[in-house]
Amino acid sequence: MPFADGQFDAITCIYLFHELPPDVRRSVVGEIRRLLKPGGMLVFVDSLQPGDEPDYDAMLDYFPVAFHEPYYAGYLREDLDRLWSPGFTPAERMPAYFSKVLSYRREL
């Protein structure tokens, strides 16, 4: 992206990661890491993953089949905290129906 390193205090990422192949997810994480100031906040919103709300797990498995979401099954297996590290510390976590809202603080 055409911005300087550490240019932003906050970045949002909304319903993107389940649409991306794994290698592109990692590239996006690297770019967000580059753009976010140390101490800055990332707000991440995307689909629930298995175990977040166990009553919905069967529906999560059905979703990529029913709606032709080719990268969704890979997203379901993605360990988001591991994906965002190093460089980010998990902060808040909140389910929101079939979605979840996560925030991460960019490490100093």
CB-neighbour burial class of residue 36 (10 A; exposed 0-12, middle 13-18, buried 19+): buried
d(CA 59, CA 98): 9
pTM of this structure: 0.92
The token duo for 13 is 């990422």
pLDDT at 4 over 90: yes
Cβ(43)–Cβ(13) under 8 Å? yes
- Mean pLDDT computed over every residue of the chain: 96
Structure confidence by residue, pLDDT tens digits, 12-27: 999 999 999 999 999 9
pLDDT in tens, 63-91: 888 998 999 999 999 999 999 999 999 99
Domain 8-106 is found in CATH 3.90.79.10? no
Which residues are CB-contacts of 59 (< 8 A; sequence separation ≥ 6)? Answer: 98
Compute φ and ψ for 66, nearest 5 degrees. Answer: -70, -30
**φ, ψ for residue 100, nearest 5 deg:** -140, 150
pLDDT tier at 44 (50, 70, 90 boundaries)? very high
Tokens of 97: 């129906």
* pLDDT above 90 for 29: yes
Residue 65, pLDDT score: 86
| Domain coordinates in residue numbering, the chain | 8-106
The pLDDT, as a whole number, for residue 38 is 97
> Average of pLDDT values for 86-99?
95
